[in-house]
Structure 1
Amino acid sequence: MPKVSACYKAEQRHNLVRAAGRRITDVGFRKLVMLDVVEESGMSSGGIYGYFASKEELVAAVIEDVMGQLEVLLRRALMSSPRPTVHGLFGALLREVEVHEQSGIRVSQLAIHIWAEATQDEQLRTLVKDSLDTARTLVGDVVRRAQEDGIVDRTAAPDAVADTLLGFFMGHVVQRCVLDVGRPAAISPACALDRQDDGVSRARD
């Protein structure tokens, strides 16, 4: 029997994580059972246990995957051209999320499930906190640049401003999933933020 390559194993593991993520968006963490993943992935239960020893281990992998996706999207937004301002950063981030979700990966809904479960699970809370700490550092760097440019009050604590901006983004994700599922939004959130940014720019001028 030919030896299975490491690349094939990594791909299969990735597919299982994404399959579990799709089911979690439908049933939540608590109701997820391994049979759901069997049906979603098309892999046998024995095959799944060859990659993950338990449901808990698989769920932890889903969480790391989702939080990693959000970090990648944030980094893409930060690297967009022209370089985003503090006011335009989340317009850029929301655009990245929207494009990402067009591929069928409902990262917003998964994030809500994760945040909710983190209130009950200490280990999960630690994973989420670590991810948010990374995001705070990235956004804080944008705030510091804005302070150097005279756009943001130099006396403001960059991490506190970053926390506020991240809270805005998380709140929007919840609002979007709760209010916009099944109906088109009246106006694109990213567009609304861009308009707000224009208003702030005019006010500064």
Structure 2
Amino acid sequence: MARVSQEHLDARRRQILDGAAVCFARNGFHATSMQDVLKEVDLSAGAVYRYFSGKDALIAAIVGEVLDQVHEGFEEGARSTPPPPPDALLASVLSRVLATKESVTVDGRPAFPRLIVQVWTETLRNDELAAVLREGYGVVQRTWARIVEAYQDAGMMRPDVTPDHVARTMMASAMGFLAQQALFGPAPVEVLRDGLRGLMSVPDRGAGSQSG
């Protein structure tokens, strides 16, 4: 019997994850059954269950994959001296993540933003998924805090701002941009980049005159 190549196994796993993402984005987790996923990917139950034990495993795999991509993107930035400025770095990482998902669509529109909103909603009732998300966001948040410290060391950012506060704000910007895409339709990442660039250009005229 011919041995199945790793390339074939990886492609089949990708097919299942992309098909599940479409189903979840289209109908939500609760309204999606494993039968829906099997129909979407046009595979037998045995072929799918070889990779994933059920819906929860599929959801966890999709979330873990995205968090790994985001983390690696920011880690690359953190390894630069100094890191790219916040507007460019956030836009670059988000562009790369979205590019890997652009072929996964629902009704001709990118499924990824809708899927992300579904994931956030699911964490309100799924403690295990919430834990995965908290851990992943925590890793990204700590990476961003290191990036902020590098900005401050390089004189690119004022030193009296708490790195964790900036980290949370940058993450909130990315999350809000994805939520807008899910609600209002696709928008180029340059919109986020240019908006951040504009905010970063506002002079801090009143900080020195405020009394304690």
Q: Same fold (TM over 0.5)?
A: yes
Contact 2:20–2:37 (8 Å) recurs in 1:
yes
What is the aligned partner in structure 2 of residue 33 from structure 1? 33
Deviation (angstroms), 1:83: 4.2
Give the corresponding residue for 2:195: 192
Which amino acid in the other structure matches residue 63 of structure 1? V
Closer, same or farther in 2 for the Cα pair 1:92/1:56, shift >3 Å?
A: closer
Which deviates more, 41-50 or 57-66? Answer: 57-66
Q: Distance in 2 between matches of 1:87 and 1:150?
A: 17
- The farther-off stretch of 68-77 and 164-173 is 68-77
Whole-angstrom CA distance in 2 between matches of 1:192 and 1:156: 20
Gaps of 5+ in 2: 105-109, 205-212
**1:110 aligns to 2:112 (yes or no):** no
Name the % identity: 23
Report the equivalent of 2:150: 145
Q: Distance in 1 between matches of 2:73 and 2:153?
A: 25
Flag the 1:74–1:179 CA change in 2: closer, same or farther, 3 A: farther
CA contact (8 A) 2:24 2:32 kept: yes
Paired amino acid for 2:41: S
**Inter-partner Cα distance in structure 1 for 2:10 and 2:101:** 23
The alpha carbon displacement at 1:100 in A equals 3.9
- Residue 30 of structure 1 and its aligned partner are, at CA, apart by 1.2
Q: Secondary structure at the match of 1:84?
A: coil
User: 2:92 corresponds to which letter in structure 1?
Assistant: A
Match of 1:159 in 2: 164
Given the superposition, is the C-alpha separation of residues 141 and 81 from structure 1 closer, same or farther in structure 2, using an over 3 Å criterion? Answer: closer
The normalised TM-score by structure 1 is: 0.79
Structure 2 residue identity aligned to 1:191: D
Residue type of the alignment partner of 1:117: E
Unaligned runs of 5+ in 1: none
Counterpart CA distance in 2 for 1:194 and 1:32 is 40
> Structure 1 residues 83 and 76, CA, compared in 2 at 3 Å: closer, same or farther?
same
The structure carrying a bigger helix percent of its residues is 1
After superposition, what is the alpha-carbon deviation per residue over 1:85-139, rounded to whole angstroms, capped at 9, x for unaligned?
A: 1344323334334544444464322222111111211100110011101111221
Partners of 1:2 and 1:91 lie apart in 2 by 45
Number of the residue aligned with 1:129: 134
Q: Which amino acid aligns with 1:188?
A: V
Q: How many residues align?
A: 198
Quote the offset at 1:144 in angstroms.
Answer: 0.3
